[in-house]
Amino acid sequence: MNINQNYLNLEESYLFSTINKKIAAFANANPEVDIIRLGIGDVTLPLPGSVIKSFHEAVDEMAHSRTFHGYGPEQGYGFLRKAITSYYAQREIGVEESEIFVSDGSKCDVANILDIFGQDNLVLLPNPVYPVYLDTNKMIGRDVAFIHANRENGFLPQPDKNRQADLIYLCSPNNPTGAAYTKEELRKWVEYANCQDAVILFDAAYESFVSDPNMPRSIYEITGARTCAIEFNSFSKMAGFTGTRLGYTVIPQQLVRQGTSLHKLWMRRQTTKFNGVSYMTQRAGAAVFTREGQKEIQENLDYYRENAKIIASKLDQLGIWYTGGKHSPYIWMETPAQMDSWDFFDFLLEKTGIVGTPGIGFGDNGQGFFRLTAFGDRSKTSQAMDRLDRAWREFII
Ligand code: MLT
């Protein structure tokens, strides 16, 4: 037998597993240190009350033969897909129920989507990038090309008309940098993709953090996107579903390549390899879009937005360059004193007990940068910034 040799070309472990190992070793050696985790983008607030209520009701339904649910509809229950189309319609974006595929999260979809594309496609990935996009291409032995995001372009690279591409990954507001494209900037990507006959894989997992109505939250706000873009979204960051698992992917009916509907291919893939998300989880997800659910999730998002402000204002005070924190739960800061990303990770952990994510873990262009998340507890976030202030004044300035 042969193993998939491509796996041997991956980093030995996934970024966040490596970080967890380092934290565990530090905690073991320093049991007295109160570690504050601003590393992985995991939410800390519990699920909203209306979501919990729907969950409970759905569990009770499963207890009676009259209301019991077995396998669900292939693309997700109609009630959830309808709620998602209304969510788009509130922003005057026309997405049909039939174009939505409910899933257990956008990480899986963004990885699995590669099944419907041929091996020899030219893939463009921003650098730095969410590691899943890169690793899933490496796993199938595909080389990728990078578009450089850096301080000069505000970590928002623009398309180069002279460069060829078949698949383009975009995430806005971005993970890891927190930078967000304007409509005009996204329009250039859509134009470029249509011109190249390429497909944009648009990760909108952080769209709910956009508070400016002039900023785009979906690629479909851009004219022409329906013929060149697939959109992924998740309930994780929007509604605290990181441990509950729910997301969806939109593939417009007009999205055709080589005379074949990509919608049809994804349907074929999903019906073979996926059996849907539990009825209870989909009912809980539908509650997110009710009036009460929307109010509750906005309160939670505001809580995280305030954390982002606390972090950003400390960085402003200390004169540290950063992106994000405005339409995003991520703050992407420059490391001080020319420390590399991992040196700064160690420095911060040892001197302050704060955990962040080294920028280099997201690609070469992340060297010398560091990501903090606003998903933490409020008092811990404030405490972390006090500790950062002290360490900065003692060791850096
Ligand atoms: C992150 O910290 O980058 C995210 O939590 C990863 C994810 O959403 O899978």
Nearest residue to 166 (alpha-carbon basis) of 228, 77, 75: 228
pLDDT at res. 318: 96
Nearest residue to 386 (alpha-carbon basis) of 337, 352, 335: 352
Q: Which CA distances in Å does 73 have to 105, 113, 232? A: 17, 20, 19
Of 257, 290, 323, at which residue does a domain stop? 290
Shared domain check, 116 and 197? yes
Shared domain check, 165 and 213? yes
Shared domain check, 112 and 11? no
Q: Which atom of ligand 1 is nearest to the CA of 107?
A: 9
Shared domain check, 359 and 228? no
Q: Which atom of ligand 1 is nearest to the CA of 234?
A: 8
Here the tokens at position 252 are 């417009």
Q: Which atom of ligand 1 is nearest to the CA of 130?
A: 3
Shared domain check, 260 and 211? yes
Mutate to test the pocket of ligand 1, among 14, 16, 355 (most ligand atoms within 8 A of CB): 16
Shared domain check, 347 and 200? no
Whose C-alpha lies nearest to ligand 1, atom 6?
41
What distance in angstroms lies between residue 107's CA and the mean position of ligand 1's atoms? 8
Report mean pLDDT in 10-residue bins for the chain, 397 residues: 96 87 96 96 97 98 98 97 97 97 97 97 97 96 96 97 96 98 98 98 98 97 98 98 98 97 98 97 98 98 98 97 97 95 96 97 97 98 98 90
pLDDT at res. 396: 86
Residue 40 CB less than 6 A away from ligand 1:
yes
Shared domain check, 296 and 280? no
pLDDT at res. 328: 98
Shared domain check, 117 and 176? yes
Q: Helices 279-287 and 78-89 sit at what angle, rounded to 10 degrees?
A: 30
> Are the CB atoms for 195 and 163 separated by under 8 Å?
no
pLDDT at res. 13: 79
* CATH number of the domain that residue 213 is part of: 3.40.640.10
Shared domain check, 18 and 119? no
Shared domain check, 43 and 11? yes
* CATH number of the domain that residue 36 is part of: 3.90.1150.10
- Identify the domain containing residue 373 by its residue range: 5-47+292-396
Residues recorded for the chain = 397
Shared domain check, 270 and 135? yes
Q: Which residue has the tokens 């928002």?
A: 156
pLDDT at res. 213: 95
Shared domain check, 63 and 201? yes
Q: Which atom of ligand 1 is nearest to the CA of 237?
A: 8
pLDDT at res. 12: 80
264 sits in which H/E element: helix 262-273
